[in-house]
Structure 1
Amino acid sequence: MDEARIDVTTVEIIGGAEAGRLELHSYDEHWVSAYLDHRRRIAEALSAVRTDIEHIGSTSVPGLAAKPIVDIVVTVDDITAEEDYLPALLAAGYELRVREPGHRLVRTPERDVHVHIYERNAPAVGEYLLLRDHLRGDPRDRALYESTKRELLSRQWNDMNEYAEAKTDVIREIKARARAARGD
């Protein structure tokens, strides 16, 4: 292995756990323009690297209430070759938040944009897109997901990761219907 490669075997959360007030906002068309602005910023920063860039998460689903955090997924050829992408993203104004096996997360200092970096063809990317695309086309599952998020956000959370984990069962249900609908 090249010495410059980062061999990550544990999760590193830069800055530690963060408590925060989580709240849902009604769908805001500004989220699309924010995604497009950051897509352009990321593409320019990573112009020397082969990438795919997609808008994911609730802000990518028209009509769905969401936390006002635009999630973006970027794929690279080798996640361990941080020298190929991380310095450029940091220079573009993003901050490293998470380093874990197969995944990096950078975000804006304002914490309103999260950029998830994965290796090309990582299963997680397909899962994000499966959920996004299904929610865009299925009003019943979109309503179920929103009502689940509203119920969970009525509780106190010490960390956003705990809130995210609490949504797992309903997300699995929705993705199972999405797979069935597309014939998987």
Structure 2
Amino acid sequence: MPDEERDAYLDTVLIGGREPVTIVVRDYDPAWPDRFETLRARIVDALGTRALDVQHIGSTSVPGLAAKPIIDILVTVAQVEAEDDYAPPMYDAGFALRVREPGHRMFRTPERKVHVHVYEPADQAVTDYLDLRDWLRFDDSDRTLYAVTKRDLARREWTDMNAYADAKSAVIAQILARAREWRSYRPSRVLSAIPNRFLHRPVCGWGR
């Protein structure tokens, strides 16, 4: 998408508009999974059974991967467009709505250290997020490739976080293609290489 079209689109979906940003990529922090668990409990407490699944996604969910110190969380709900059903409890729990686009909402904390992405379970983005995460947890080469890419991009100046994300898209597409191939045949012996605590699992029995 040309820059002008991308910017015009962002202006329609970003609540509060585009924001200048300095990208900081840090070495993996072993505290990130515990941070997610605290946030997961907060979201589940706020949404109850309206949260069909709550998952840790993004680079902070991959042990050993350098990342921006932002916890990304994936929440699935029955109907994303039924915003009045889940947004007020999220506000009460301290999350502000940042993105509103068809099929997707994104909430964040005031400190901008947590991003909560809301989708419906059948959305392709849900599968892609989890496939990418699980593959990077397993494959050293792509984990290194992704880390090098992010560190290189972090040295540049960006007008908005979305511009930085777009710049990673080509590499992510390559890695995701391998992740999808892996998903199509991954045997139990491959999954056994991933510690149990990091495997995709439903929350409180409500998951897919």
Q: TM-score, normalised by structure 2?
A: 0.81
What is aligned with 1:5? none
Q: Deviations over 1:125-170 (max 9, x none)?
A: 1000010000000000000000011111111111110000010111
Separation (CA, whole Å) in 2 of partners of 1:97 and 1:41: 19
The SS at the match of 2:23 is coil
Separation (CA, whole Å) in 2 of partners of 1:118 and 1:179: 20
Q: Deviations over 1:38-72 (max 9, x none)?
A: 10000000014142000000000000000000000
Give the helix-richer structure, 1 or 2: 2
Q: Does the 8 A contact of 2:131 with 2:183 survive in 1?
A: no
Q: Is residue 27 of structure 1 aligned with residue 18 of structure 2?
A: no
Q: Deviations over 1:75-109 (max 9, x none)?
A: 00001111110000000010110100000010011
Separation (CA, whole Å) in 1 of partners of 2:177 and 2:64: 22
Q: Is residue 116 of structure 1 aligned with residue 117 of structure 2?
A: yes
The SS at the match of 2:75 is strand
Q: Does the 8 A contact of 1:11 with 1:98 survive in 2?
A: no
Separation (CA, whole Å) in 2 of partners of 1:159 and 1:37: 28
The SS at the match of 1:145 is helix
Q: Does the 8 A contact of 1:11 with 1:101 survive in 2?
A: no
Trace 1:43-54 onto structure 2 (pairs within 5 A): 43-54=44-55
Q: Which runs of 5+ in 2 are unaligned?
A: 1-10, 186-208
What is aligned with 1:66? 67
What is aligned with 1:173? 174
Q: Residue 12 of structure 1: CA displacement?
A: 2.1
What is aligned with 1:16? 17
Inter-CA distance 158–54: structure 2 relative to 1 (3 Å threshold): same
When the two chains are superposed, the root-mean-square deviation of aligned CA atoms in Å is 1.3
Between the aligned residues of both structures, percent identity stands at 54
The SS at the match of 1:71 is strand
Q: Residue 121 of structure 1: CA displacement?
A: 1.5
Separation (CA, whole Å) in 1 of partners of 2:182 and 2:52: 29
Trace 1:1-184 onto structure 2 (pairs within 5 A): 11-183=12-184
Q: Does the 8 A contact of 1:13 with 1:98 survive in 2?
A: yes
Separation (CA, whole Å) in 1 of partners of 2:19 and 2:75: 24
Separation (CA, whole Å) in 1 of partners of 2:53 and 2:141: 30
Q: Does the 8 A contact of 1:27 with 1:59 survive in 2?
A: yes
Q: Which runs of 5+ in 1 are unaligned?
A: 1-9
Separation (CA, whole Å) in 2 of partners of 1:102 and 1:52: 16
Separation (CA, whole Å) in 2 of partners of 1:124 and 1:11: 20
